[in-house]
Structures are given as structure tokens and as C-alpha cells.
Amino acid sequence: MTNRLALLLPKRGEWQLALPLALFFILFFIAPLLLLVVISFYNDQLMTTAGTGQYISFFSDGLNLTVLWETLLLGVKATALSLFMGYPLAWFAARAKGRTQAFFLFVVVLPILTSVVVRTFAWVVILGRQGLINKTLMALGLASEPVRLLFSELGVVIVLAQVQMPLMVLPLMTTLQRIDPNFADASNALGAGAWRTFFKVTLPLSMPGIIAGCILVYAACVTAFVTHTLIGGVRLLYMPLFIFQQAMDLQNWPFAAAISVVFMISVLLIIALLVMLSRSSRAQIYG
Amino acid sequence: MSKKGMNRREVMGAGAALAALSALPFDAHSAEKLVAATFGGTWSEVHRKFLAPAFKKRTGAALTQAVMLATQQIAKLTAAKGGTPPFDVAILDEGPALNAIKLGLIEEYNPAKSPNFGKLLKPFQDKWGPSVTMQCIGIAYNPNKIKTPPTSWEDLWDPKYKGRVGITSLASTLGMAFLADINRLAGGNESSMDPAFKKLKTLLPNLAAVSANFGAHAGLFAQGEVDIGVQNFNFTQTLKSKGVPVEFVRVSSGTPAWRTSMHVVRNTGVSDLAHTYIDTHLTADLQTALQQEPYNVIPTNGGVPLCCLVKSQIAEKPSDLQKMVFFDWTKINAGRPDWTNAFNRQIRV
Amino acid sequence: MNHSFDIDRASFRFVFFAIAAVCVFFLMFPSVIILILSFTGEETLRFPPPSWSMRWYTALLDATELQDALVLSFKVAVIATVSSVLLGVAAALGIARSNSGWARFLDMIFMSPLILPALAFGFAVLMMFSLLGYRPSLWTLSVGHTVVVVPFVLRTTLASLTQLDPAMLESSRSLGAGEIYTFRRITLPLISRGVMAGAFIAFMASFDNVPVSLFLQDARTQVLPIYLWDIINNQLDSRAASASGVLIILTIVLMVVMERLSGVSKFMR
């Protein structure tokens, strides 16, 4: 489609239109990030001597690496839960028509548009020792004591999955809608049951959507400062709070910059991995 | 071209107009404006309820009160040093106050601009800013869940309180004072917190939560997340008045206390207004109102007799206030950043 | 033969339906809880509320800091959205027409704020402005927000452009219309819905933004999400619930309006 467009429209001056944004990005996106890297190479808080001191001190301390690892792992867990719960919803929403689909879209889009602080705050009340979930569990006799959900990793995973769920459902919906129904019909006609068709046909075909959703959700989950701190509390230390504490509470900019750089690179590496997965899965299907 | 929906030109035009309008300063009045820092929890409540109206009545100026821990105020003032500060009046506990003076973040307090300064009891008249109150800490507990009142810090370590104890991080003075006190009781002094960290390690299994600030900490009591914990005398009473089941007890080993003072920030453009704001906090009227239940703020104005809960639970007469446990905040300030890092690491689950 | 098909198909549908239903509940449940809680008569948030009242909504009328934060959030969102539309639409036009490696590269760069940790970016911008001597203000906030919301405008505009039927442009040209005229009268109106959808999403994203605002604002310029964050973290009363309730209702209203006006939902990827 883009090719046809390119052929039909005059080429004169088209790339120049992207210049203003490019300039804006150089000034206000690239420059700050470069500055971040530069500042991370100061050995002391007052920024007088240069060196790799901050990186050495980050990597030599097992506890720092644990914080990084646990943050990255948290993202994986929350993304997995989000995928597991979001896929069926996307499946139904993609098949729905008219009013039903409008309803699904409303349910999915409304959370993204509501403030993340508001949505996470609601969970604080729900997950507490005397919150809704515990009250229900105790009333149903499923628990004799309140279950620790607030200030626990389980709570953080649950809330993250819910808060970021729309980012998973929307790309999935788009991809599922585009899958030619002939494939599923052919599979059924050849004798495969519903489950088999799903795992062998639908799922692989929807890979691009799955990967797209996972990328968006993962990126959001690992940097979800509000959710981490409101639900996880101060005892569960993840990278965003760690960076914030060092940068704002302790005013140690070089160290905070170094952790930020390490964090960004880690997240980018994981996302690059997912993108490569997506390319290879597409190659598998389309040959 | 669809007729329904807005014409794109119109949208662009409206958008540009909105943006232009938005860029104009949105002051309904050109009166002076003061931005004052306040603490969370009870503090922001009494400041909003009493101090703000009294100040506005006195000066007619616009007022914004922003909640910040003392340590956060120092951080923000340091970051903005040299330029216009992000707020005009700072409220600081003893430790951060000493830091602020050392870093040159506040200006000397001018008694000439503050008629009520002279009415304070002598120990509270400091040349860098008057003390508006003293704060003291002890144990707060839920009497519905805990039948025998605790008597000392040791009670927090009681195994029957597993997963029910709440403390705050070292970012708030509440947390720092607690650490300093268990340090003192373990035989240490303000040069090193090692004895305290050793003791703290054994408390970890009992912890329900560590809060980043005392406002959140009080909230945990309110939500029933925490049944017993370190708490400030004032906040406990405020919680109680909101219907939360909670009682305060002083610990037998002595009540740690510190002064809280207000300061005029250096380079603020509204020094006179700032002085008036602080002065309003020193008036007998305001301090009497603040001393009533459920706020129970200890007064520093000599003309305000001790009464009510402050008298019955804390001090019969002003000289009693001197009998509490005090710390060397200069030494504590020196070690605080390292201890903060160590604390954050130790409390990790 | 048919038998096994039915059970298999039924179990598949059942499992999927069950998970989807739980998911829908999961998505709506917290907002509903907060709405209910905002009508509590108590000072603390316990569910179910022991008593009911509108007092926390009326308390909002006195909350000048809240109103200031709301106004500031609105201003920043408007500035960020307008900037994003101007810069983003131009960039989309520039990229869509070209198939070169440059275009792909630029596309990736312009989209990257969506996946880079916004917190780290906010911190980086704070440092840059601070070292240059600029204090947190409406403008620093707007700049930071523009960077993080322009990808939305770019995305929807690009999607719109690729759906553009080249036949329309061809016929316009064959009828003698000049390039700029074609652009103004044909292209722009046809992508207007996509642009508006992007602008709407950008506006909401800026309005709700936390990670960038956390660093780029201060006591004098506080935005709404941070203000809410503060009252949730620091204070004991239930105004957080009623403020949240207002926001939820506002969002629902806005969504319905935008859906009617431009069918926003079609453009959500």
C-alpha cells in the first residue's frame, strides 16, 4: 500500500516534513538521554571526577543485580498473566459485531484512559487485609486468616496485569480480526477439533499480535512506578523506585544515571529479543 | 468530505487558540502568592484547617500548601539552589533543619517581621527559625486486637505480632528517631547505627509493612494493615478521632522527641509574607486551637498553658518537655545517607 | 463423529468464555469499587462503606490545590497535544510516502518513547533542564509530555495514511489540482479522523502521565495525577476517592463523546 502511495505522490520535499519532529527529538529526547549516559560516568556525587565507578559499584553489589533481575522477572510474570487472561477476551471481541463489539471496546479502552493512579489506588482498597478479596475469601471459608496480597509480589503481578491488560487486548484483537477465517474452517473440515485448531492454526497465526501486545505490556510493567510503590510498598524494591530514591531522595545523580542506563539497556535487549521472535515466527508461517 | 464531525481547520484553529490561552498566566487576581511546605497526615490537616484561613485573613494573599517530608524539602531546595526556590516556607525537623542551615538554604529569621516570636519559650527561639512544636514518638496499637497495652520497644519484637508491625523508612524523622533510640538502648551512640541494624534484623519477621512516609504509615493503621507500630503522638490522636481503633503509649525507656521548626527559604521573593505565615503559626490563638483534641500539637508559645491530652499524656509543665530523649542531629545528619541505603537494603523482602 | 466435535468445541468455548468473563470483570471492577467508595460518609476507606454521603464531593469544591492541579494538567495536555499534532502529522506525511531505510529508522526513533522507561527519560530531562538553569515549569512539563505522547498521533496518522485510497489522489491530480490543493482538500480531510483519534489519545496520555511529571514538576506546578498520588500517599481523608470518581466519570463522558464524533475506537491498535 505504501509503495503505491509513494509511486503516485510527488517525491519533492516529502522527507523534509519529518524534520521538525526530528529536530524536536534531537533536542528533547536524544540530548537528555546522552546527558544521562555522560552523567553516569562520574565517580562521585558532586560530579568532579570521571570514571566508571558507578557501573562498577552497581555490578559488584549482588543486591543491585537482584533488584534488576527481579524487576525484569516481574515484567515477565505480569505479561504472562496478562496474555493468559487477555487472549480469550480479544478472541471474543474480534468475533463480536456491532453493539457487542462496542461494549468490548469500551471495557478495554476505558481503563487506559483512566488515570493509572486512580486504578491502582482502587486495588489498594481491594487487596488489603480487610479488603474486599480477603473479606470474600474468609466469608467463603477459603481462608482462616487474611492472605497477604498487598505489599506482596503476587499483588503487584495481579494489579500490573489488570492495569496494563488493554495494551495486550487491543493489538491481539486487531491481529485476530485479520486472520482469514478460511484457515480455521479448513482445519475443522480436515477433522481437527476446536482445541487443536486453536493451538495449531489460530495461535501461530496470531503470533504477531501476541508479540506486539507482549512488547507493550512488558515495557509498561517494568517501569510502572505507581503500581510498584502503592501495591508493593517500600520493602519490595524494583528498579523504578530504586532510581527515584537515588535521584530524588538521596540526590545521587551519577549513580541514579548509571542505574537508569543499565535499566534502559536491559529493557531494550528484552524487547529486541521479542521483536526478533516476531520476525522469525512470521517467517515460519509465510515461508 | 463528511459533514458530521468537526472540520479539521476548525479543530486546528480551536486547538491553537486554546494553546495560546493556556499559555497566559492563569491568575484570577494579581495578589501575592505564598507556597508553603507542610508535612503529611495531621500536619496538612491542621495547616489547611487553621493556619491557612488565619493567614489569608491576615494578609489576603493566595496560598498553596504542598506536602513534603523534611528530607524531600532539603533535596528540592538543594536542587534549586541559586535560583527561585520551589517553595517559600520550609517546615523541618531538627536534623534536616541543621542540614538546611549548613547548606545555606534558609535565611535568618527576622524577629522584627514577626511580633509573636518573642512570646515563645526561650528554648524555641532560634535565630534561624522558631520551633512551632515538639514531636514525640511512642507505640500505637489497636486495642481491639491487642488487649494488654505494650510498654516498651521490645514489645514490637514479640512473636505474637508476626506480620502485624509497622514502621517507617529513614526518610521520615519518625523512622530515624526510632532507629536512633533502639541504637541507644543497644548501647550505641549517634556515630554508628550498627547496633540498631543488628536489632532491626530480628524485627523483620514481624513487619507487616514499611512506609515511605508517616502519612502512608497512618493510613495503614486506618486500613487495619498494621496492628501495632512506632507512631507519633499527634497522629495517633488524629487517627482516633477519625474512628480508627488506636491507642498511644509512651515507652518506658524514655520518650524520644525533637523540635519542629519553620523557616523562610533563601531567595524567596516574598520574605515578608513568609515571615507573616510563620508568625501566624506562633500566635497564642492558633497554638491553643492546635493543642485541642484531636490534634494535640504541643505548643511553644509561653502564653499557651498546657492542657488536655498534651498535659495528661506528655507533660504537666513546660519544663517536663526537657526531660525527654534527645539526639545529636549533627552526628545523625552525617551518617544518614549511608544508613538510608543500608536500611533500604535490609528491609527488602 | 459429530459428538466428539461438540464436546470439544463446547469445552473450548466454555474455557475461553470463562476466562474472558473473569477478564471483563477484572477490568471494570476497580473503577466500580472506587466509584462506590467515593460516596462513603467515613473518613477512612473501608468497603463496604458503613455510611453514605456526598461530603467528599463537596470537599472537592474547597480543594484549591486540586483545582489548580486540574487546570495545570489541562493546560499541559492541550499544549502537548497541539504540538504533537503539528509535529506528528507532518512527520507522518514525511515518513508514509517514503520507503527508504531512513523512514523506517525515523519511525522507530519516534516510536521509542513508548517502550523506553519513561521514568529514566523524565529524570534525564530534569537533569538537562536543571543544568541549563531552567526550573520546572509549564513549558518544561509540556516539552517532556510532547515527547512521550507524539508517538500516539504518529501511529494513528500513519494508519490513516496507509488506508488512504491512492485513486482519490490520482483523480484529484488528473483533474488538474495542484499538489498543495490536493493535500489540503483531499488528504487532510481524509486523515482527519485518524489525527483526531491520535490527538485524543495523546491528550489523555498527557493528562494521566506520571513518570515524566514526577520529575518535571514541583510545588508550584503540580499536575493532577501527582496531586492524587500525594493525597493517597500522605493524607488520611477520602478525597482521593471522590477525586478519582470525578475523573472516572469525566473519562467515560469524554470517551462517549469522542466515539460519536470520530469513531476513536477504530484507531486503537
Q: Bigger pLDDT: B314 or C181?
A: B314
Residues of A in contact with C186 (CB under 8 A): none
Instruction: Name the class of domain A62-97+151-286.
Output: mainly alpha
Residues of A in contact with B338 (CB under 8 A): none
Domain residue ranges of chain A, discontinuous segments joined by +: 62-97+151-286
Confidence of residue A48 (pLDDT cuts 50, 70, 90): confident
Per-residue pLDDT averaged across B218-228, rounded? 86
Per-residue pLDDT averaged across B189-210, rounded? 92
Q: Which of A129, A236, A239 to mutate to test the interface with B (most CBs of B within 10 A)?
A: A129
Do C62 and A150 form a contact (C-beta atoms < 8 A)?
A: no
Residues of B in contact with A234 (CB under 8 A): 169, 209-212, 344, 347
> Which of C81, C135, C188 has its CB closest to that of B83?
C135
Do A258 and A58 form a contact (C-beta atoms < 8 A)?
A: yes
For residue C182, give how far its alpha carbon lies from the nearest alpha carbon of chain A (Å): 10
Q: Which residue of C has its CA nearest to A162?
A: C27
For residue C159, give how far its alpha carbon lies from the nearest alpha carbon of chain B (Å): 18
ipTM: 0.84
Inter-chain touch B8–C44, beta carbons under 8 Å: no
Look at the alpha carbons of B125, B127, B132, B135 in this order and tell me if their dihedral is positive or negative.
negative
Residues of B in contact with A245 (CB under 8 A): 344
Inter-chain touch A88–C124, beta carbons under 8 Å: no
Which residues on adjacent β-strands are paired with residue B92? B261
Q: How many CB atoms lie within 10 A of CB A11?
A: 10
Structure confidence at residue A5 (pLDDT): 52
CATH of domain C63-267: 1.10.3720.10
Inter-chain touch C19–A89, beta carbons under 8 Å: yes
pTM of the model: 0.85
User: Backbone phi, then psi, for B6, in 5-degree steps?
Assistant: -85, 145
Distances (CA, A) of B34 to A8, A107, A219, B66: 61, 44, 40, 11
For the record, the C-alpha cell of C197 comes out as 483519534
Inter-chain touch A21–C88, beta carbons under 8 Å: yes
Residues of B in contact with A124 (CB under 8 A): 223
CA atoms of B300 and B286, how far apart (whole Å): 11
Q: Which residue of C has its CA nearest to B12?
A: C82
Written as one string, the DSSP assignment of chain C is -HHHHHHHHHHHHHHHHHHHHHHHHHHHHHHHHHHHHTTBSSSS--SS-SSB-SHHHHHHHH-HHHHHHHHHHHHHHHHHHHHHHHHHHHHHHHHHT--SHHHHHHHHHHHGGGTS-HHHHHHHHHHHHHHHTPPS-HHHHHHHHHHHHHHHHHHHHHHHHHTS-HHHHHHHHHTT--HHHHIIIIIHHHHHHHHHHHHHHHHHHHHH--HHHHHH-BTTB--HHHHHHHHHHH--STHHHHHHHHHHHHHHHHHHHHHHHH-GGGG--
Do A185 and A256 form a contact (C-beta atoms < 8 A)?
A: no
Inter-chain touch B344–A234, beta carbons under 8 Å: yes
Q: Bigger pLDDT: A117 or A160?
A: A160
Which residues on adjacent β-strands are paired with residue B244? none
Angle between helices C224-234 and A116-127 (to 10 degrees): 20
Question: For B42, which DSSP code?
Answer: H
Do B138 and B233 form a contact (C-beta atoms < 8 A)?
A: yes
- Reduce the DSSP state of residue A45 to 3 states and report it: coil
Domain residue ranges of chain C, discontinuous segments joined by +: 63-267
Q: How many CB atoms lie within 10 A of CB A148?
A: 17
Q: Bigger pLDDT: B100 or A197?
A: B100
CA atoms of B220 and B211, how far apart (whole Å): 9
Do A169 and A216 form a contact (C-beta atoms < 8 A)?
A: no
Do A213 and A207 form a contact (C-beta atoms < 8 A)?
A: no
For the record, the C-alpha cell of B157 comes out as 519484637
Place of cell 540526590: A251
pLDDT in tens, B166-178: 999 998 899 999 9
Structure confidence at residue C267 (pLDDT): 56
A250 CB within 8 Å of a chain B CB:
yes
* Cis peptide upstream of residue A208 (ω within 30 degrees of 0): no
Residues of B in contact with C42 (CB under 8 A): 242-243
- Measured between its terminal Cα atoms, the distance across chain A in Å is 21
Do A215 and C115 form a contact (C-beta atoms < 8 A)?
A: yes
Can you list the domains of chain B with their CATH numbers?
A: 33-134+258-317 (3.40.190.10), 136-257+328-346 (3.40.190.10)
For the record, the C-alpha cell of C129 comes out as 533542564
**Contacting partners of chain A (3+ CB pairs under 8 A):** B, C
Confidence of residue B24 (pLDDT cuts 50, 70, 90): very low
Average pLDDT per run of 10 along chain C, which is 269 residues long? Answer: 68 90 90 88 79 87 83 94 94 80 86 90 90 84 95 89 76 78 79 86 90 83 85 74 86 83 58
- Reduce the DSSP state of residue B72 to 3 states and report it: helix
For residue C30, give how far its alpha carbon lies from the nearest alpha carbon of chain A (Å): 5
Inter-chain touch B215–C68, beta carbons under 8 Å: no
CA atoms of A40 and A254, how far apart (whole Å): 5
- If you average pLDDT over every residue of chain A, what do you get? 86
Residues of A in contact with B212 (CB under 8 A): 229, 234
User: Backbone phi, then psi, for C166, in 5-degree steps?
Assistant: -60, -20
> Which of C94, C112, C161 has its CB closest to that of A15?
C94
CA atoms of A230 and A158, how far apart (whole Å): 13
Inter-chain touch A6–C87, beta carbons under 8 Å: no
Contacts of C167 (CB under 8 A, 6+ apart): none
For the record, the C-alpha cell of B206 comes out as 514481624
Inter-chain touch B163–A249, beta carbons under 8 Å: no
Structure confidence at residue B13 (pLDDT): 52
pLDDT in tens, C223-233: 989 888 888 87
